[in-house]
Amino acid sequence: MLEVSALRWMLTIGLILGLLALDLGLAAARPHVVKFREAAISSILYIAVAIVFGLVFAMQVGWDYGAEYFAGYIVEKSLSIDNLFVFVIIMSTFAVPEKYQQKVLIFGIALALVMRAIFIALGAALLQLFSFMFLIFGLILIVTAVQLYRHRNADPDVQDNVLVRVARRTLTVTKDYEGGRMFTRIAGRRAVTPLFIVLLAIGSTDLLFALDSIPAIFGITAEPYIVFTANAFALLGLRALYFLVKGLLDRLVYLSTGLALILAFIGVKLVLHWGHGLDGRVPEISTNTSLIVIAVILTVTTTASLIKVRRDPTARAHAGSLTAEKPSNPGPTG
């Protein structure tokens, strides 16, 4: 069991909030279209910070815990990229002007961090109280993986989002973005702008990804501190990463397949861990093995995606869906 002092928690949370405030504060203070160079530098810096943190953490508490952090970080970063894919779909569906996209991302990332912190606390408490929760989490991930693989060539229908539909039925929505505001007035009546509807879609997406990502990270480690830091550092810099990769996401035609395999693998790992607690003869999957398997899956799917697109330039990636597949745009898919 990893012993984490109150001081370490305070310093870590302070570091993460400071980096988050810096990233999102600068974006809010100076709304602008983010260019490739700016996005690349910011993304590299935040990934470097996450790596340095992991190395310092491993040197302080041991490389076993360090391996858990890096495995968790890779899993959460992979899921975050799929989250970005859905963000791109939402921005495109609602035709969000580029100058307002940073504002949407600020809201989405901050909300994602809050939701994951809540689910981390809840998940940790459940695992401490009930050992069978490892089985439940494992089965959830396996079912999610199967659904994601079945509908890997679909995109989520953000227009069919429950919150979006309710808001459109019950609220007055303006046609224009009204200078990036969320609320305005029409003929003396309070109304919401399309930006408010976009934020509802982003928020519900964050909730779904939090529900998937927390069981996934607990499949790597049961240490709340590692779960929190891996999630937090995976989310930091997501704003810049969005602008860096949004033009490249269409090339990752096997991304959904890779994520489905990773979720299934972690689900099996959780089920075996639960079984090992009942009978020591049931094998367990080590953290180092998990790290290798996850890295291999990501490497193979990324390489295969690039080869596929090179051979067939019309191939387009999809974010994947957990619900019944809707017909997508014609054209070859991965």
60-91 pLDDT tens trace: 999 899 999 999 998 888 888 777 777 877 88
Residue 191 has what pLDDT? 86
Residue 331 has what pLDDT? 45
Against a cut of 0.85, is the pTM above it?
no
Residue 50 CB contacts under 8 Å (≥ 6 apart), including other chains: 73, 233, 234, 236
| Full DSSP string of 22-71 | HHHHHHHHS--PPPHHHHHHHHHHHHHHHHHHHHHHHHHH-HHHHHHHHH
Residue 14 has what pLDDT? 92
Quote the radius of gyration of the chain (alpha carbons, Å): 20
Residue 277 has what pLDDT? 84
pLDDT under 70: residue ranges of the chain: 24, 26-33, 160, 247, 319-334
Residue 226 has what pLDDT? 92
Residue 333 has what pLDDT? 41
